[in-house]
Amino acid sequence: MVYGHSDRGPAQVVDPVTLKILVAGGFGAGKTTLVGAVSEIKPLRTEELLSEAGRPVDDLAGVENKRTTTVAMDFGRITLREDLVLYLFGTPGQDRFWFLWDELSTGALGAVVLADTRRLQDCFAAVDYFERRGIAFTVAVNCFDRAARYPEETVREALDLDPQTPVILCDARERESVKEVLISVVEHAMMVSATRR
């Protein structure tokens, strides 16, 4: 060894493995908040103010204070290790933007279906979408202040979920809570992948 040099040669640049997780759910469920709570970078957001033109089609029941909406996607990143990076893509919640879901879901390891118990019916489309495409998902019930709380089994029954689909309670504003949701998605996706082999 010569001073300051190793016999091993120059350091190798490692191209990280990237994992993609979608965050879906109904209008106002907290998808943008969830991505922002855990992203290590300033998240890319495509939010626009709600307008009078959208009033006839955007149902604000239960989310009357909502002023903005995602019109394309949210994007965040988490570096798990030097060689492993997680990308988060938040989908738009309104029906008129669902055409974007096919593009966003390409190559996804798994998904989070973020549920709001005040508007649980808004989850049906996302649950159906991922079930039909065979994309592993976890239902994360976002525990809003002053919203009714229900046991996980009640939510599972209401959404008619398969027994192996994880259902967990979370606070989309809290980084640690969101990390638990993402761990659940990755573990479930790995289990589903192993059973398909």
Per the confidence metrics, is the pTM higher than 0.75? yes
Is the four-CA dihedral 73, 152, 178, 144 of positive or negative sign?
A: positive
Residue 5 lies in a domain: no
Helices 175-196, 31-38: inter-axial angle, 10-degree rounding = 100
Residue 4 lies in a domain: no
In this structure, what token pair is assigned to residue 56?
Answer: 């006839």
User: Phi, psi (5° rounding) for residue 7?
Assistant: -70, -10
% of the chain exceeding 70 in pLDDT: 76
Residue 8 lies in a domain: no
CATH number of the domain where residue 25 is located: 3.40.50.300
Residue 53 lies in a domain: yes
Residue 21 lies in a domain: yes
pLDDT per position as a tens digit, 77-131: 999 888 889 999 988 766 656 667 788 888 999 999 999 998 899 899 999 999 9
What residues have CB less than 8 Å from 54, skipping those under 6 apart?
69, 94
Q: How many domains does the structure of the chain reveal?
A: 1
Residue 78 lies in a domain: yes
| Closest by Cα among 133, 143, 20, 157 to 86 | 20
Provide the residue range defining the domain that includes 71.
Answer: 17-196
